[in-house]
A and B are shown apart, each in its own frame.
Chain A
Amino acid sequence: MILHTVNKSPFSQNTLRSCLRVVSNEDSVVLIEDGVYAALDDSSCSELIKNALQRVAVYSLLPDLKARGIEQRIIHGIQTIDYNDFVSLTEKHARVQSWF
């Protein structure tokens, strides 16, 4: 199991798209930094995450969502986490692949 972190906005880079191409069903994805903009509902990129949620768990770092004023606007099914939860996810996944 691999934990994938994504820190770039899907509106400016293909980082998330590349990640989702190769993510396995048992893996998990964590949106961090500008990567959390992928969590926005009703956006031109929402389908990326909505499709991904059919097969993988997607998490988003709450401090990054709050800092950007979008924590109330996120796609249903994304789980919001704090840093403590982020560490827990790295305990459960043997490897971490950073997409930046």
Chain B
Amino acid sequence: MKKFLFVTRHAPYGTSFGKEGLDAVLMGSAFVPVTLLFMDDGVLQLKKDQRAASLNIKDYSPTFAALNDYDVKDIYVSADCLKERGLSAQDLVIPVAVIDDDGIRDLMKKQDVILSF
């Protein structure tokens, strides 16, 4: 079975990459083993306390908590990208594995297909 890595590098709201990427993750999880990596502004997708209602749009942030139900358990976040934005794992909406650049390098090597959003 091919292993898919979904890389999210864009912030929420400003563009729809994160939201539509998450839709792809949910679909992918039905067919293949899925790993998620959040880096660059993508780490902001997971920031706690998001209130999309203030923009009158649908809040997809709770969907991240549902990933566990979809059997998506391999969720990684770049340590440096969090730190650069003044955040830590405690600021995130779900428990994740925080990894350094060497970890990201190894993670990418283990995949068969990489999809980026």
Contact = CB atoms under 8 A, between A and B. Distances in A.
Direct contact of A and B (CB under 8 A): yes
Interface of A: 2, 14, 18, 21-24, 94-100
B36 interface: no
Contacts of A2: 108-109, 114
A97 B112 CA distance: 11
B105 interface: yes
12 contacts: A2-B108, A2-B114, A18-B9, A21-B101, A22-B104, A22-B105, A22-B108, A23-B105, A95-B113, A97-B7, A97-B108, A100-B116
B116 to A, nearest CB: 5
Interface residues of B, number: 15
B39 interface: yes
Contacts of B80: 21
Most buried by B among A18, A22, A100: A22
Contacts of A100: 116
Contacts of A23: 105
Interface string B81-117: 0000000000000000000010011001101111010
Contacts of B104: 21-22
Given A2-B114, A23-B105, A97-B114, 6 more contacts: A2-B109, A21-B80, A22-B104, A95-B113, A95-B114, A97-B7
A7 B80 CA distance: 23
Contact of B39 (A18, A24, A94): A18
A96 B115 CA distance: 9
A2 B80 CA distance: 22
A2 B112 CA distance: 10
A23 B104 CA distance: 9
